[in-house]
Structure 1
């Protein structure tokens, strides 16, 4: 329970209790609960999405709210990591300079532009998915779960690029048991929604691993910013997968018919 609360309060704006004496090892042990945090966030998004859609339907405003919900619930934690990653990873500099840029608390114009483009794509995907409300609600539910499982894989499968930092504690304490538990949570949450959602989970995993492998080759490992970038990009990949499923007649059978509004 302590690890779950630590993960919840670290990854979101939800504060339940005071934890003044946490150690770096406590944060490291909380990695196994990342997908449970995703489950909490997904449940909140599903509930809010259901209420809003029931009363207002899909519109530009409701689509914007759905895109903003993950940012409001997490305080933009992963968005900051995404922008720092773009600034550093695609700067064309040396490995050492990339890491310096990513550590800089200031955000560059490249990161801001990339984040704006990502939000615009998310908005367009959510607006299109509004034509299939069940698909949209399922996507809102599962994408924070799948994205945080991708984070767990990033933490466990790739070395930490810096000699010290919280991310190093995450990596050192994320063993096979952590990955197995996080994966089981993601799989249990995906299975009831059919093969289309299992495909979305597979896409999230493969996309996250491909991006992390690319980043690790350039930096010699990953950082906390890259964990956040993995989460943000994986959520977009999940939305894009559902968008493909509702637009390709050959793929709609994977949704089992519940895409029909």
Structure 2
């Protein structure tokens, strides 16, 4: 289970394992458990919502949840989202796009993209029917982290090195099948509605990663976060749509 704890510490602010003991194999092993890490994030979000729902207006509470997730994960995926926006939509050639994404400074595309992402996530959560809030708060981080496993194992890496490359090169071959089983476990509780959200996450991943690979020549650690964040948006949107049909 060391892989799980390494993944939990890498993808969140929880400090459980001594970071000096990490090996590249540990990073690879952690990929299998990304859905479980997402489940932990979702459990904390659901607990926060449950404790505060009776005391805080829904609009403010949902904004607080967006901020809570950002702080709980250390803004890791949001940072990747902004870097990807800067490079992917820069209008430059492939090599220059990758160079822009490596720049630690955030450009205008990244800032605008992050603002729109945050506002959209907030308003979508506000408009969620109350009976699907528990499902969305749990499945949104779970499935979005599952999409990262697909990104890592099913799409080529665009750079010869990088943190994302460590995950891609050292993830075991069984990571995706096991992660898929873990990601499907909530079906036991939510049945068809969760299957619907699972399919949405899968399609969003395949479409966005195909687009990213076409324009960047592959994926990067930043694009993992990009796909993760956009998957959450479409999962919430999908839950709203199916609730009103």
TM-score by structure 1 length?
0.90
Q: Give the SS at the match of 1:162.
A: coil
Separation of aligned partners in 2, 1:81 and 1:49: 26
1:20-39 aligned at under 5 Å gives the runs 20-39=20-39
1:4-153 aligned at under 5 Å gives the runs 4-53=4-53, 55-56=54-55, 58-129=57-128, 132-153=129-150
2:182 is aligned with 1:197:
no
Cα displacement (A) at 1:91? 0.8
| Cα contact 1:13–1:74 (8 A) shared by 2 | yes
Cα displacement string for residues 155-195 of structure 1 (whole angstroms, at most 9, x for unaligned residues): 00011100112212211233541001111111002441121
Q: Give the SS at the match of 1:14.
A: coil
- 4+ residue segments displaced more than 3 Å: none
| Cα contact 2:11–2:76 (8 A) shared by 1 | yes
Which residue of structure 2 aligns with residue 246 of structure 1?
A: 243
Unaligned 5+ runs, structure 2: none
| Cα contact 1:191–1:198 (8 A) shared by 2 | no
RMSD of aligned alpha carbons = 1.3
| Cα contact 2:6–2:17 (8 A) shared by 1 | no
Cα displacement (A) at 1:65? 1.0
Which residue of structure 1 aligns with residue 231 of structure 2?
A: 234
Separation of aligned partners in 1, 2:174 and 2:225: 22
Separation of aligned partners in 1, 2:5 and 2:202: 25
| Cα contact 1:24–1:166 (8 A) shared by 2 | no
Cα displacement (A) at 1:57? 5.8
Separation of aligned partners in 2, 1:223 and 1:17: 25
TM-score by structure 2 length?
0.96
Separation of aligned partners in 2, 1:172 and 1:101: 24
**Aligned counterpart for 2:218 among listed residues 186, 202, 221:** 221
